[in-house]
Structure 1
Amino acid sequence: MTKETSEQIEVDVVLTPEQINEQTINKADSALHLIVKTVETFDQRYIFKTLRDLVSIRKKLNVHVLSHLINFYLNDTTKQYLLQAINASPSTEQQERGEVLPEINLTIHWLVQLYLLDQAQLQQLDMLNTQFIIPAMKQYNRRSLDLINAKIWFYISRTKELLNDLVSIRAELLLALRTSTIKHDNETSGSLITLILRNYILSHDYSQASNFIEKIEFPKNVSTSIESRYFYYLAKINSVQLNYSDAYEFVITAIRKAPQTQNAQGFLQSAFKLSVLIELLTGDVPELSYFNKSGVPQQVLKPYQDITQAVKLGDLKLFNDSLAKYREVYIADDNLSLVERLKSNVIKTGIRIISLSYTKIHLKDICIKLHLDNESSAEYIVSKAIRDGVIDAKINHQLGYIESNELNNLYSTKLPQEQFNQRINFVNSLHNDSVMAMRYPPSQNRRDVNTKAGNEDELDEEELMNALEDLDSDFF
Structure 2
Amino acid sequence: MVSTPFSCKIGGRCRFKKAQVEIRTFARNRSQAVAMPEEAKGKKEGETKDVEMKDATEEEKKDTKKEKEEPPKSPRTILLEAIAQNLKTIATGVTAGDPRVMGRVLRSFAQLRRTMEPEVLKALLEEFVDPARPNKAQFIAAVPPADVEMADAKEEKPKEVEIKFPQLSKPYAPELEAYAVLSLVVKLSDKSEKEKSLETASALVLFLKTLNRRTMDFFNARAYFYLSLAYERCGRLSEIRPELLAAYRSACLRHDQMGQATLLNLLLRNYLAYNLYDQALKLVSKTSFPESRPNMQYARYLFYIGQIKAVQLEYSDSHSKLMQAIRKAPQTPSVALGFKLAASKLAIVVELLMGGIPERSFFMQKELKEPLRPYYAITQAVRSGDLHAFKECTKTYEALFKKDKTLTLINRLRYNVIKTGLRSISLAYSKISLQDICTKLGLESPQDAAGVVAKAVVDGVIDATIDYDQQFVKSNQKLDLYHSCEPQKALHKRIAFCLQMHNDAVKAMAYPDENDNKDAEDPEEKREREKRELANIEEEDGGDDDMII
TM-score by length of 1: 0.88
Corresponding position: 1:347 with 2:418: yes
Task: Please report how far the alpha carbon of residue 44 of structure 1 lies from its aligned counterpart in structure 2 after TM superposition.
Answer: 3.8
Matches within 5 A, 1:462-473: 470-473=539-542
The residue aligned with 1:37 is 92
Partner of 1:402, secondary structure, is: strand
Comparing 306-315 with 73-82, greater Cα deviation is found at 73-82
Residue from 146, 163, 182 that aligns with 2:253: 182
Matches within 5 A, 1:38-187: 38-78=93-133, 79-86=136-143, 98-130=170-202, 132-187=203-258
Corresponding position: 1:28 with 2:83: yes
Cα distance in 1 for partners of 2:492, 2:338 equals 33
Task: Please report how far the alpha carbon of residue 25 of structure 1 lies from its aligned counterpart in structure 2 after TM superposition.
Answer: 3.3
Identify if the C-alpha distance between structure 1 residues 461 and 313 changes in structure 2 by more than 3 Å, giving closer, same or farther: closer
Q: Which amino acid aligns with 2:102?
A: I
Are the counterparts in 2 of residues 122 and 159 from structure 1 also a CA contact under 8 Å?
yes
RMSD: 3.0
The residue aligned with 1:381 is 452
Matches within 5 A, 1:353-432: 353-432=424-503
Task: Please report how far the alpha carbon of residue 219 of structure 1 lies from its aligned counterpart in structure 2 after TM superposition.
Answer: 0.8
Corresponding position: 1:218 with 2:312: no
Cα distance in 2 for partners of 1:329, 1:250 equals 24
Matches within 5 A, 1:259-408: 259-261=330-332, 262-293=334-365, 295-408=366-479
Comparing 199-208 with 95-104, greater Cα deviation is found at 95-104
Partner of 2:84, secondary structure, is: helix
Q: How many residues align?
A: 458
Partner of 2:123, secondary structure, is: helix
Identify if the C-alpha distance between structure 1 residues 144 and 470 changes in structure 2 by more than 3 Å, giving closer, same or farther: farther
TM-score by length of 2: 0.77
Comparing 97-106 with 325-334, greater Cα deviation is found at 97-106
Identify if the C-alpha distance between structure 1 residues 274 and 12 changes in structure 2 by more than 3 Å, giving closer, same or farther: farther
Cα deviation digits, residues 398-438 of structure 1 (max 9, x gap): 11111111112221222221221111111011011112212
Identify if the C-alpha distance between structure 1 residues 184 and 164 changes in structure 2 by more than 3 Å, giving closer, same or farther: same
Q: Which amino acid aligns with 2:86?
A: A
Cα distance in 2 for partners of 1:450, 1:98 equals 33
- In structure 2, runs of 5+ residues without a counterpart are 1-65, 146-162
Comparing 209-218 with 69-78, greater Cα deviation is found at 69-78
- In structure 1, runs of 5+ residues without a counterpart are 1-7
Cα distance in 1 for partners of 2:511, 2:532 equals 15
Q: Which amino acid aligns with 2:271?
A: Y
Identify if the C-alpha distance between structure 1 residues 468 and 450 changes in structure 2 by more than 3 Å, giving closer, same or farther: closer
Cα deviation digits, residues 65-102 of structure 1 (max 9, x gap): 211100112221332231133379xx9xxx99942312
Are the counterparts in 2 of residues 224 and 259 from structure 1 also a CA contact under 8 Å?
no
Cα distance in 2 for partners of 1:445, 1:73 equals 33
Q: Which amino acid aligns with 2:176?
A: I
Identity of aligned residues (%): 34
Cα distance in 2 for partners of 1:39, 1:450 equals 25
Q: Which amino acid aligns with 1:46?
A: V
Are the counterparts in 2 of residues 358 and 404 from structure 1 also a CA contact under 8 Å?
yes
Q: Which amino acid aligns with 2:112?
A: I
